[in-house]
Amino acid sequence: MSVLTRDEAQTRAQLLDVRRYTIELDLTTGDETFDSLTVIRFVTRADADTFVEVKPAELRSVTLDGQPLDPETLDGNRLPLKNLTAGEHELRVDAAMRYSRTGEGMHRFTDPTDGEAYVYTQLFMDDVQRVFAAFDQPDLKSVFELSVKAPEGWTVLANGVTEHTDGVWKAAPTPLISTYLVAVAAGPWHSVTTEHRGLPFGIHCRRSLAPYLDADADELFEITKQCYDRYHEKFDEPYPFDSYDQAFVPEFNAGAMENPGLVTFRDEFVYRSAVTDTERQTRAMVIAHEMAHMWFGDLVTLRWWDDIWLNESFAEYMGYHTLTEATRFTDTWTDFGVVRKGWGYDADQRPSTHPVAPEAVDDTASALLNFDGISYAKGASALRQLVAWLGEKDFLAGINTHFKRHKFANATLADFIDSLAAHTDRDVHAWADSWLRTTGVDTLTPRVTPGDDGTYTLQVERTGSRPHHIAVGLYDLDVADEGRHLVLRERLALDVPQTEPRPIGKRPTLLLLNDGDLSYAKVRFDAESFEGVRTALSGLPEPLTRAVVWNALRDAVRDGELPAAAYLETARTHLPHETDLALVQGVLGFAAAQVADRYLAPEERPAALATLSSLCRDLIRRTEDGDHPGLRLIAVRHAIDVAAHPDTIAAWLADGTVPGGPELDPELRWRILSRLAVLGATDEAAIAAELERDPSATGREGAARCRAALPDAEAKARAWDAMFATDDLSNYLFTATAQGFWQPEQADLVRQYVPRFYEDAVAVAARRGPAIADVVGRWAFPVYAVDEETLGLGETCLSEADPIPALRRKLVDQLDDLGRALRVRQGVRQA
């Protein structure tokens, strides 16, 4: 499939004005294909040739202005339109299109619980051509008029309100939107509806999840309404569409997609099992994020994919900020600091790093790679820094000017900066150049110098080039509390680089740069402050402050400046006293998945697992009173994951409960069975029995994960063939199988598959496309083979095997992480 280049898009945008799409889809033609009839009305501004994109199973007929075109002229995904004259035209394309099993285009899923089928679209970037013919680029906005013929008993959801007669559903014509934002979701949905401010709101899921959606419907609607109201307080432009549906769909690749009027979410957000309040907060943040896109991305859309930050960075920032302002989740920036900032920092230190706003993205394949921790987390961090520097009043004024100037149209970075500049005397153009056009993470290091009078001054050394407006926290030990807690003496506002040293008075126990996490930078500690962290980290009064400290320790481990074992020691000392769930989850996750599994040598891993098991037992004992169910659930999950011996968790599974609770729900049962499979303490019969107990889609994934994790040569061969020898696995079943396959306890058993991975990964990615390539590179990579041989094999693959861009990017990142792990093991400091 040919990818669209930036130059081609610019040329076509100058030529065309696309007025209207009339699309008829027929979903009653079978399980493999559906019918797609598209009529496009457009105007050419000059005599010229151009092309339309379509990727059919069968192209039946094409007519242009009533004259037939030869379907055989279709070249890959491009249908040439020759000798167009200036003026109005009508293109009619009749095709059969394939359903997808990879979450791209029109995805089809059959629920194993009840046999019901569901379909939904994911047309992002360039997948609209898998569903209907289109001039597929974001700056050729148009009106879309859609009708869908569906089986009896189905409901069809779309961007606008739908009505149906005799099995044909018609959606209200859209305002001007981009092709990638068109959406359809069809099936026997379970729906809950309400109305807010005269607008219909709906939430939808497959029927087998109905009880779980109903249980959370009030919470979901409350969050949706609170965010909706808060955005209307912030933005002058009202919500620009005629309804607001949120559909929780199966086997969805992303967290969610901002289709106007019909947001699609992965249906893991319909919770079948117990979750923590932080997980509920994450779901709420995704709701807030996607609603922000109704303005940032849908009302005003990027002109080309080099400005994806105008979509994602803003939605990320607004999601967290608005959730804090408008809902019961008032501490969301801690979760951002723990989860999202690390994602951004890691991505920004790899060879694949890129600016938040690159000056040119050559084509759609390159653009797809940039939806990463930089465009989301770093971009949102940059906006948080901008607001701290500019002030929220001027920031919001600039946003509202931007909406007014470009509503239902397209915009660029330059357009947005001009809108901001209209409301401030600050040099926002220079700010954009230093923050959005550059790569890498700055490092801030304090230099504390004593004076003759017993007081101290602070000079911050910066590695990097960005200006930072930060807070510096000065913390003293609380002598009345036997030194277990730290008390904030003062927060100083500081601009880096400094013009002169800053007086700080007496020497604090802890001097913390970037307290409050308002900037995007790695921070270091001076020796006295590190000692304060080591002895009293859990005694810091605010969770966001503790998040900044834990991130600094995490960065120091990754950079080879803090031994991995010292991080474990700090976690063992302080995590038993932690109250914030996001911090407990984040620290345990890093300690297990990175420190124990990758950064420590194999012979050191058993001791690390013992430390983590002991820590989890402490947390479980601490929560026996039942007052901290979320903390207990996190501790139980991690106790399962790091169990080195099967006896305790096998007893939990047999009893159906952890002593003192919780009772084992499906998620915990599959988690235990997966760990037992790794340890060789279960078998196929037990897996089959559990699948009979839980025959849901999630159960099928759990069974696939367990079967691939069995320490048996035949089980490994079957799992490998399922992933690479056939194309039968859906995106989710492929992921589950890959997650089970590689285990650090089974290094010798799977060693033969390490060299096989590269050849087989390149082949399956070429056959199945970017979505599966992403899964292969993320989950099927041999992450536990931390050695020079694996690194060399990967580098040879990159230089000789020509993997498709989506896989190449994943391999580049994985190999860089592997090299970093090797250097951490060797005690090598790294930038």
The answer to whether the beta carbons of residues 255 and 265 sit under 8 Å apart is yes
Three-state DSSP at 517 gives coil
Q: Dig out the tokens for 17 from the structure.
A: 């004005």
Torsion of CA 73, 79, 83, 86, to 10 degrees: 160
CB-count exposure of residue 211 (10 Å: 0-12, 13-18, 19+): exposed
Number of H helices, E strands in the chain: 28, 28
Query: Is 163 assigned a catalytic role?
Result: no
Three-state DSSP at 385 gives helix
Q: Dig out the tokens for 522 from the structure.
A: 């790695």
User: What per-residue string of b and e applies to 454-481 under the rule 16 or more CB within 10 Å gives b?
Assistant: eebebebebeeebbbebbbbbbbbbeee
Paired with 97 in beta bridges are: 34
Active-site annotation holder among 237, 290, 316, 701? 290
- Euclidean distance between CA atoms 831 and 829, whole angstroms: 7
Q: Where are the beta strands (DSSP E) in 372-452?
A: 409-411, 443-450
CB proximity list for 813: less than 8 A, separation 6 or greater:
347, 350, 352, 777
Report the chain's C-alpha Rg in angstroms.
27
Q: Dig out the tokens for 353 from the structure.
A: 């790093």
Please give the single-letter amino acid code of residue 101.
R
- Euclidean distance between CA atoms 218 and 224, whole angstroms: 10
What letter does residue 27 receive in the DSSP assignment? Answer: -
Shortest CA distance to 241 belongs to which of 293, 318, 283, 310? 293
What letter does residue 663 receive in the DSSP assignment? Answer: B
CB-count exposure of residue 97 (10 Å: 0-12, 13-18, 19+): buried
Q: Dig out the tokens for 379 from the structure.
A: 């971009």
User: What per-residue string of b and e applies to 188-204 under the rule 16 or more CB within 10 Å gives b?
Assistant: bbbebeeeeeeeebbbb
- Euclidean distance between CA atoms 218 and 231, whole angstroms: 20
CA distances from 296 to 246, 247, 309, 758 (A): 18, 20, 10, 39
Reading across the β-sheet that carries 199-205, which strands appear in turn? 190-196, 199-205, 244-249, 262-266, 256-257
CB proximity list for 366: less than 8 A, separation 6 or greater:
805
36: part of which helix (H) or strand (E)? strand 33-44
- Euclidean distance between CA atoms 335 and 329, whole angstroms: 11
The answer to whether the beta carbons of residues 336 and 391 sit under 8 Å apart is no
- Euclidean distance between CA atoms 691 and 685, whole angstroms: 10
- Euclidean distance between CA atoms 321 and 306, whole angstroms: 25
The answer to whether the beta carbons of residues 474 and 486 sit under 8 Å apart is no
217: part of which helix (H) or strand (E)? helix 210-234
- Euclidean distance between CA atoms 66 and 222, whole angstroms: 51
Pairing state between β 184-187 and 522-523: unpaired
The answer to whether the beta carbons of residues 818 and 594 sit under 8 Å apart is no
Catalytic residues: 290
